[in-house]
Amino acid sequence: MHKLALPSRSRQCGFSLMELMIAIVVVGILASIAYPSFMGAIRKSRRAEAISALNQLQQAQERFRANNLQYSSNLSAAPSATPPGLGLPSTTPGGYYTIAIASASATGYEASATAVSGSSQAADSACATLGVRMTNATHEYAANAGAWATSNPCWAR
């Protein structure tokens, strides 16, 4: 005797539209929370590029002063040029900051790294401009024309 097979109900697999919408909302909420932190980390890593460029400038200024009895106000001219300079580029390698020397004398100098306007780094509101100056054999640091001090939170790595 043969048993008749009853039609089996096939089970549907997958997500319902409601489950899919809930998953999309959850992912959207998580992304909106994570994005600002992600951009903050990106800006901080790009800030390290400006700090590195200013550290190079400080070292170049000291080498220049050892040979010329004063600091240089010329960033990009070669040390062998007339008048001599530091031979450094005026922008950071990634192009997020411009480097400038504001003043230079026999006893000190002041330089800055300013975020390029229009770049995402310009939104780094607390640290869009980093400054370093040498006065009386003391290096001081500032951000956004803030108070000069021997340390500054924007300079933290």
Residue 4: the pLDDT is 62
Query: Which residues are 149's β-sheet partners?
Result: 141
For the chain, domains (ranges, CATH) are 17-155 (3.30.700)
Give the pLDDT confidence of 68-121 residue by residue, as tens digits.
889 999 999 998 888 899 999 999 999 999 999 999 999 999 999 999 988 888
Query: pTM for the full model?
Result: 0.77
What is the side-by-side order of every strand in the sheet holding 97-104? 97-104, 108-115, 129-135, 138-143
Give the pLDDT confidence of 34-81 residue by residue, as tens digits.
998 898 888 888 899 999 999 999 999 999 999 988 999 999 999 888
